[in-house]
Chains A and B, each alone.
Chain A
């Protein structure tokens, strides 16, 4: 369990990091907290030719509020965001979802943008970003911004080009009268979600986002959904997903969770909104 040989660059600036990515091409990979990448390196599942470490770039860990958005740059660790004093009022869904990301130990190292870049189908941060219509700030030779829903293109696959790194992700600040809730079932505390559910309720409107089932977070909106319709709507949603059997859960169990966890999460979000 030793990685194959690779080069390592500790970037001092975003420009230096981006230039190194552009020069190396497909073989380059940004390393931030390394909580997924290092395990893949050690198992030789990933064999990058160059690792560009962005954790020493000045300013990369400073969270800011900008034009109604909470902007989280590339070197912000998950623990730092979770410990942010106003997070519950700024982005309550993140405050609810982040404790489900790995363990205390992995959150102390793992970064928010790293999780987004990794694009694991079970990732809570990706789910929250898509559920909230967040934005991914990419930096190639030019900067560009992508809506989260367009960024995630498949399992561990994103719209980022080989010469681009994530400079930040931004989450819209919460509006008055909106309720948020998040729930998840994993095998153990901190495990990959078998199913995770985020619900956002505003007046009659309802949004549900499902993680852990399809290759990317799935979002469903209803303009109104009364209590009698919820079960049918969730059953339709459950069957429309691409649930599969794996070692830990059956397709049927995943559909069960979409129905039961969905109902619970909708109820909690509506209570929050009221």
Chain B
């Protein structure tokens, strides 16, 4: 029975009452067992370091602390997480012996409450030996690069090349080869609610019982069970009734499920852990950063005859499940919306000292389309063609379409979508706005992009990362099952169980609409249960909320179950109404024979008949109490021997264009107009489709202009707050015009395809193309890096006016870390100053906040110091080594500080020069790197803080050496570069 989109359009969302009134229950609201312990996690401040020792004795002694668990203890009850490609690395959910990214868990404290647990973290002393950080993905592949995983002997986790058609011949035949090299940054869709886990372990047979706001895919369930060394039946995994957004990210809670479940087993108590925002930004998951070189063989009219992809995918410190899925999800549609028969691909996956990556809305799409659509614009620029013509000449025009790499595009009409969008007047308006702006000397540009948005992932696409021989050995993997159960209770009311684990999208509303339509009920009479329980529900590895699978896949299972149930109920009704089952009509909560609505029976009576009176059922009929349907799209086959892969079932189409202006004063990019044309097949609920598009667009504006999980060259994580990871607010989101055409998918029972991820794929490159177009009259073709911050744009604008005569920069520019230099005059001789600097007791009085200074050897000092600025204070252990001693003239200091707020290391050179008046000029230069929490949350203030602390030191030194106060008031102003 067809789904009624007319009534669905006006349906209010079932979910909204609880969400908007604040009564919805999330993981942190759930009741937990008596005796539950609260976990807090000590995390590595180092990007790369050996763990030499962990002293947790003071933490264990703190009242309220029940257990302190490190990687060694974890390893006794668990196994490393499985790795998707067959390489010998050990991927633990908590560091064992070596930490490989900032934020990697090192110790878990379990205590009576979270406050005490965090107090205890401050008391744990971990001794690290820092190792060389490997941050840049290309540098990580260098033969001399330090290796993260010794067992692997390289940072290259996987390399595969693919060849479809005859790309080399196409390149030889083509008159032009045009290429781009792009870098896609790390970013995340940052759900409002962070991760949470409630874990229990029953040693008497039932095993682990875990509640977590996990989102799937449930192919992760066997990974968790194996890590916990139990069969899947002994790992019950449940999700809470509500989850505050995910966008893929909550797939990444799974290592914490393993970690907290193992902790519950070790402590023999239930454990609760709620991730905080700093932990989430630092160490949950993000999109992969990727370096792509993409080359096209091009005809003079812009027709592309072959594409050559060379991709380096940076998955962070561990190639952790489900990676390398980000790279391979798009493998079947690497040519996007274009009819290109020849394709060459080289995929390399590299590990670096960054947080492991995972699912994130758009999953692999933003990286692909940023390269592909920047290339299409470049082709137009180089051939001096209209970019519209380049797109049009390459668009796929007939469906179904088989891509070079083996995916079938189920349906579409790209040419019509393109024409409908262009003929609607908005594009012409953009052109005249650009003409007018340019005539006035303003920087205005137009960007275009197309994108094919895949949905309903083939669970076998990941095996494309293996060679055909490896695949043959491990057995084929494919498919994308969906499950739904419809139950009838003793009063004939209807409950639907779905396998899609929503996080606010409105799945319950749409499923209720569908089922009520089939059974002739009101949608409010249908209860849809979306919380997930692996111990009770029908599910498969494909269950969960990812690859935009709900409308196409889960709803197909719901449709199947509803149709089957209706068919069976029709038989019961037909028997009672003395008619044929095919003549039964379900409407208005009643059933009747077609043409005879007067003689009707209530739906509830038919639906409850099997409970109360199975004897009244027609002969040979089984009671009708529930119907579970498993829907399996047969088109999703395993990879072929030639590496062809039908990576997704459904393919939506997007065509975007926008106009942007670059502000002449600030360099900020302002999106003037943005139009997005979608074909997502059948639109089942117009309001929710619009919500999906607007939501993805907002997050894509963040990726385009604002957001990056930035790392320092030393691997320090620099974006630990929403001040440094600037998610756009409603004030930064431009208005959006949405257009639709509908070409229903023939492969889903609803005709729907995915719609939730498309703008995450298309919008960043569309905005970038517009910015490139705005800069083109001034700069020609430019290479752009996301996010397009005004400081980056400024580099393309006018050259900077020269500095006035005699200008001296405040700091040497090494391009990394904190640097500074300064001078101070002190009214004591160089020898007197030198003696002060070499005397621990004197230093204790000089170093700001020192609680004692010792000199374990001739050239080493150790101190326990409280350092800080204003109210921000932390206690650090400081070790300083002296070298290149030239008494009483100069010395090189190499130091390291470590404390609860993070760590720092650096070098400084101090030189003393005698002045004619008997005093001394002290000159210093320093170069420092800061890591850990203080770098993640306080980057904006670090430079100033370093100057203040150093200033305090020299002020105290001068005072100790006998200088005058007035002199030092002046001196204080000098520090930090003579301002």
| B-binding residues in A (CB < 8 A) | 1-5, 29, 37, 40, 43-48, 103, 118-119, 121-122, 154-158, 185, 187-192, 214-215, 231, 235-236, 239-242, 244, 246-250, 252-253, 255-257, 259-261, 264
Chain B residues contacting A244 (CB-CB under 8 Å) are 810-811, 943
Q: Which residue of B lies closest to A156 (CB)?
A: B870
Separation in Å of the A249 CB from the closest CB of chain B? Answer: 4
Chain A residues contacting B145 (CB-CB under 8 Å) are none
CA A260 to CA B392, docked complex, whole Å: 42
Separation in Å of the B727 CB from the closest CB of chain A? Answer: 8
A255 engages B948 (CB within 8 Å): no
A264 engages B871 (CB within 8 Å): no
- Of B668, B791, B901, the contact of A44 (CB 8 Å cutoff): B901
- Of A5, A46, A156, the contact of B119 (CB 8 Å cutoff): A5
CA A141 to CA B801, docked complex, whole Å: 52
CA A252 to CA B802, docked complex, whole Å: 11
Given known pairs A2-B114, A188-B728, the reply for A259 and B870 (CB within 8 Å) is no
Chain B residues contacting A5 (CB-CB under 8 Å) are 115, 119
Given known pairs A2-B115, A191-B726, the reply for A247 and B800 (CB within 8 Å) is no
Q: Which residue of B lies closest to A45 (CB)?
A: B872
- Of B667, B732, B934, the contact of A188 (CB 8 Å cutoff): B732
Q: Which residue of B lies closest to A263 (CB)?
A: B665
Interface residues in B712-749 by Cβ distance below 8 A to A read 718-719, 723-724, 726, 728-729, 731-732
Residue interface bits B688-725, CB-to-A below 8 A is 1, else 0: 00000000000000000010001000000011000110
Separation in Å of the A232 CB from the closest CB of chain B? Answer: 8
Chain B residues contacting A29 (CB-CB under 8 Å) are 871
Separation in Å of the B976 CB from the closest CB of chain A? Answer: 7
Given known pairs A189-B731, A242-B976, A261-B666, the reply for A247 and B940 (CB within 8 Å) is yes
A188 engages B948 (CB within 8 Å): no
Separation in Å of the A25 CB from the closest CB of chain B? Answer: 14
Residue interface bits B779-802, CB-to-A below 8 A is 1, else 0: 000000000011100110100110
Chain A residues contacting B945 (CB-CB under 8 Å) are 155
Please list 26 pairs of residues, one from A and one from B, whose beta carbons are closer than 8 Å in the complex, sorted by A's number.
A1-B118, A2-B118, A5-B115, A40-B871, A45-B901, A47-B873, A118-B870, A121-B944, A155-B869, A156-B872, A157-B869, A157-B948, A185-B665, A185-B666, A185-B668, A187-B706, A187-B789, A190-B729, A191-B726, A215-B976, A247-B724, A247-B939, A248-B940, A250-B794, A253-B790, A256-B797
CA A45 to CA B940, docked complex, whole Å: 14
Given known pairs A37-B871, A40-B872, A155-B948, the reply for A189 and B791 (CB within 8 Å) is no
Q: Which residue of A lies closest to B937 (CB)?
A: A43
Chain A residues contacting B726 (CB-CB under 8 Å) are 187-188, 191, 248
Number of interface residues of B (CB under 8 A): 61
Given known pairs A246-B939, A246-B940, the reply for A189 and B732 (CB within 8 Å) is yes
Separation in Å of the B38 CB from the closest CB of chain A? Answer: 10
Separation in Å of the A156 CB from the closest CB of chain B? Answer: 3
CA A122 to CA B944, docked complex, whole Å: 12
Chain B residues contacting A246 (CB-CB under 8 Å) are 939-940, 943
B718 engages A256 (CB within 8 Å): no
A155 engages B870 (CB within 8 Å): yes
CA A256 to CA B870, docked complex, whole Å: 30
CA A187 to CA B873, docked complex, whole Å: 27
CA A192 to CA B939, docked complex, whole Å: 12
Given A5-B119, A185-B666, 7 additional A-B pairs, CB 8 A: A45-B871, A46-B873, A154-B944, A242-B977, A242-B979, A244-B810, A256-B667
- Of A43, A192, A236, A253, the contact of B791 (CB 8 Å cutoff): A253
Q: Which 9 A-B pairs have the closest CB atoms?
A: A156-B870, A1-B276, A155-B944, A253-B791, A46-B871, A189-B731, A239-B803, A249-B791, A260-B665
Chain A residues contacting B872 (CB-CB under 8 Å) are 40, 45-46, 156
CA A214 to CA B115, docked complex, whole Å: 37
Q: Which residue of A lies closest to B789 (CB)?
A: A248
Separation in Å of the A123 CB from the closest CB of chain B? Answer: 12
Separation in Å of the A149 CB from the closest CB of chain B? Answer: 13
CA A94 to CA B651, docked complex, whole Å: 54
Given known pairs A48-B871, A156-B941, A239-B803, the reply for A247 and B729 (CB within 8 Å) is no
Given known pairs A188-B706, A242-B976, the reply for A248 and B791 (CB within 8 Å) is yes
CA A221 to CA B880, docked complex, whole Å: 44
Chain B residues contacting A1 (CB-CB under 8 Å) are 118, 276-278
CA A253 to CA B798, docked complex, whole Å: 11
CA A81 to CA B723, docked complex, whole Å: 25
Residue interface bits B948-979, CB-to-A below 8 A is 1, else 0: 10010000000000000000000000001101
Chain B residues contacting A48 (CB-CB under 8 Å) are 871
Separation in Å of the B372 CB from the closest CB of chain A? Answer: 29
Most interface-central of B664, B731, B789, B900 (chain A CB within 10 A): B789
- Of A37, A155, A242, the contact of B941 (CB 8 Å cutoff): A155
CA A4 to CA B933, docked complex, whole Å: 16
CA A58 to CA B118, docked complex, whole Å: 37
Separation in Å of the B351 CB from the closest CB of chain A? Answer: 24
